[in-house]
Amino acid sequence: MLNVTYSTPAVLKLGFGELRSMRYLYSILVLGGFVIVVTSNVAIIAAVLLNRGLQESMYIFICMLCLNGLYGSLAFFPSLFINLLCETQTISYTGCLIQAFCLNTYTGCEFTILTIMALDRYICICYPLRYIAIMSLPTVLRLIIAAWLTAILPFTVHYILTLRLPLCDSTIVKIYCDNWSVVRLSCIDTSWNQISGLILTMGFLVVMPALIFFSYAMILWACTKSSKQIRTKALQTCVPHLITITNFIADRLFEVILHRITLNNIPYSLMIFISVYVYVVPPLLNPLIYGLKLKDIRVKIVQLICNQ
């Protein structure tokens, strides 16, 4: 019986493919997108933190959503921008694992924050007289901590399983690192990684969306028994959240499906679009949805800019 020694490569090659032919144009677009993401998300965060009138649970959760968007963007955009400008698109093994961990925890935190926001709207609309007592500041802080821990701790265990894997290949098909792309390069059995990934997928793509849509089903049921004015106000606060949730869940489902089918059957441009959508569009879309749709935030941002 032969003893085989596996050696994990120090540098991994990213799958930029056709993007290299127009890399300077794409680098300008990436830089512009990053500036817009940072500016818009920081504007909402500043508006919430600097105005006591916005320091309610709903606005604090929106602030956390924007903060998470910044976290994910910092893990995605700078690496992409640098690789577009370089002659060879590579990343160190350690850097790859760090980026993968950050992007996965960003996705997990997005789900947990959106779930808590749905719960917040449910309590506000269905139990308005008890809302302030239930969603007190200590409760909000505990929910925020729980949201981050719920995303970070499972993915930490998930990545410990990945660290034990030796790699036989050094080419990642995506333009960024994620856990599954690294696991696919392994030389040994990855059953435990697949089981762990399935549990995480079920938790974040089945359980949490179910809780979210159950909350909104109860909200709609409560609205049918309320006056037209209350229904209108409820829709004004819930519609932005539903747009954000639907947009995010749809992309994650497509991404999971993309992992389960043969990549050769998918056009390269479509694969790139689906894989980067969740790291580009939500951080851009969330500030626009909440900044433009919610009048209180919009007014405070204008006041903040005019006072400078």
CATH of the domain at 42: 1.20.1070.10
Q: Residue 279 belongs to what H/E stretch?
A: helix 268-293
Is 208 within the bounds of a domain?
Answer: yes
What's the predicted TM-score (pTM) here? Answer: 0.87
Q: How many domains are contained in the chain?
A: 1
Is 71 within the bounds of a domain?
Answer: yes
What is the per-residue pLDDT for 255? 76
Is 6 within the bounds of a domain?
Answer: no
Structure tokens at 269: 């441009």
The candidate with the shortest Cα–Cα distance to 30, out of 72, 69, 83, is 83
For the stretch 135-163, what's the b/e string if a residue is b when 16 or more beta carbons lie within 10 angstroms of its beta carbon?
beeeebeebbeebbebbeebbeebbebbe
Residues 303, 114: Cα–Cα separation, whole Å? 27
Is 174 within the bounds of a domain?
Answer: yes
What is the per-residue pLDDT for 140? 92
Is 5 within the bounds of a domain?
Answer: no
Is 2 within the bounds of a domain?
Answer: no
Is 1 within the bounds of a domain?
Answer: no
Q: Is 58 exposed, middle or buried (0-12, 13-18, 19+ CB in 10 A)?
A: buried
Yes or no: say if 109 and 147 are a contact pair by the CB < 8 Å rule.
yes
Encode the chain (308 residues) as per-residue pLDDT tens digits. Answer: 444 555 566 677 787 776 777 888 889 999 999 999 999 899 888 888 877 777 788 888 988 999 999 999 999 999 999 988 888 888 888 899 999 999 999 999 999 999 998 899 888 888 888 888 889 889 999 999 999 999 899 889 888 888 888 888 788 878 888 888 888 888 888 888 888 888 888 888 888 888 888 888 888 887 777 777 766 766 776 777 777 788 888 878 877 777 665 555 667 777 777 778 888 888 888 888 776 666 667 676 666 666 65
Query: Domain of 199?
Result: 11-306
Is 70 within the bounds of a domain?
Answer: yes
Residues 148, 106: Cα–Cα separation, whole Å? 9
What is the per-residue pLDDT for 21? 75
